[in-house]
Structure 1
């Protein structure tokens, strides 16, 4: 399984992806699920992927091949919308091609495409297996793909478009920690990018290993903070015990 989260705030983008692939307990490995395409000073594009590994690798390879051999590709189209359209079309073609070769195999994938083309603000898209996509806005400033349910509550409570970039990063790491603790199919190391609006270049992907001290501090601080808040909450046992139970209908046993 996979967990990827991408957050778009006023100051830029925060992207976090795990690297575990799982085809059964005997086939667990690590693969990078966050890719960067850029023309420094003109555009930078990020692609996060989840789903069938063969499909996602084919999509990335075809995008790279198109840059070398095609007239129209993600590094020369005028907008990020056009970039998302190309990525979606490529994913749809790969899935359709492979589905015809084997029955009962899930070849689907989901992708998050984000980045900035000079002259535009940073943009963020969620691309579905069918190739269609939606764009994040100020009301919904983040997307998740893969095993999303464990890390979603933190994002819903904290993130909005005005969230500072450093707080968005912290929130993405806490969201990832919640997922790591609850689902063994999501695993370290993590790949992280913090992109500042209008920089139009990527400083590189930061890889956080299992023994990373910064991430360990984040995990411990969050766990301890939750425990302290829980311990300081008032008890409602007396109120519950004193409350009159609702009458049971004749059909209840």
Structure 2
């Protein structure tokens, strides 16, 4: 499996992906899930992928040459001449559907589901930054101010920190830190996600990205994130009062009467009924 995060902020974009791929407990490999398409000064695009590795690799390969019909009288739209990120998302969707048309029937015959999802974000020319989540069917949704990040893969373990920390006005460095904490929480709880990680930060309007790093188990900053986050969580946990069952004086009593609900009843004999 995998875990990838894409964040769209007023200040820019943040992308983070792991690199673990497994086809069973004894077949674990390392493959990058992030790829960057960039023409400095003209366009910057970053793609993250999750799901079946053979599908996502085929989509990435086809994407570079995939084309969809343009307006009447104009050239077909490609990754490199699209005038908007929306059109790039359409090209990506077409690439996904092309791979499905080629491989979907054979996969189905072998009992393999066509599973792949992608996070696509970037900026073209004077258009604002945009980010899309593309599904296995080639359809997609776009990030908004209300939902400024997307996750693919093992998303549940790292989602709470992103929900609590991210807003459109979050600074890029804070968002990168939140993404790394989210990834660390996922690494701690799920063996199907693993190092090394790829982290990229894009600043709005630059149409190129130079803040890119590969993070392995020796990376000092990620080691600090791992140890500090665990320690601070324990400190916060220890600072929460223990529940009291003796009915004694407490700032936050556990034994408290509910106006609507009664304590659970016990079945003590064959004739007892819950209702």
TM-score (norm 2): 0.86
Post-superposition offset of 1:204 = 6.0
Which of residues 149, 155, 166 is equivalent to 1:159?
166
More helix by share: 1
Higher relative contact order (CA 8 A, sep 6+): 1
| Pairing 1:101-180 to 2, within 5 Å after superposition | 101-102=106-107, 103=109, 104-180=111-187
Post-superposition offset of 1:225 = 1.0
The alignment partner of 1:36 has SS state of strand
Give the corresponding residue for 2:243: 236
- Structure ID, larger Rg: 2
CA distance 1:235–1:204, change in 2 (3 Å): closer
- Contact map agreement 2:202 2:211 (CA 8 A) in 1: no
- Contact map agreement 1:52 1:107 (CA 8 A) in 2: yes
- Contact map agreement 2:77 2:87 (CA 8 A) in 1: no
The alignment partner of 2:98 has SS state of helix
Give the corresponding residue for 1:251: 273
| Pairing 1:1-253 to 2, within 5 Å after superposition | 1-66=1-66, 71-102=76-107, 103=109, 104-203=111-210, 205-238=212-245, 239-240=253-254, 246=263, 248=265, 250-252=272-274
For residues 134-154 of structure 1, the C-alpha deviation after alignment (integer angstroms, 9 at most, x for no partner) is: 000111000000010001111
- Contact map agreement 1:2 1:146 (CA 8 A) in 2: yes
For 1:203 and 1:247, locate their aligned partners in 2 and report how far apart those are by CA, in whole Å. Answer: 59
For residues 9-40 of structure 1, the C-alpha deviation after alignment (integer angstroms, 9 at most, x for no partner) is: 11001100000001012210000100000110
Give aligned pairs, total: 251
- Contact map agreement 2:118 2:152 (CA 8 A) in 1: yes
Post-superposition offset of 1:71 = 4.8
Post-superposition offset of 1:189 = 0.3
What are structure 2's unaligned runs of at least 5 residues? 68-74, 246-252, 267-271
TM-score (norm 1): 0.93
For 1:106 and 1:183, locate their aligned partners in 2 and report how far apart those are by CA, in whole Å. Answer: 22
For residues 30-85 of structure 1, the C-alpha deviation after alignment (integer angstroms, 9 at most, x for no partner) is: 00100000110110001100011111111111122349xx9531111100000011
Once superposed, what is the RMSD of the aligned Cα atoms? Answer: 2.0
For 2:61 and 2:166, locate their aligned partners in 1 and report how far apart those are by CA, in whole Å. Answer: 33
- Contact map agreement 1:10 1:161 (CA 8 A) in 2: yes
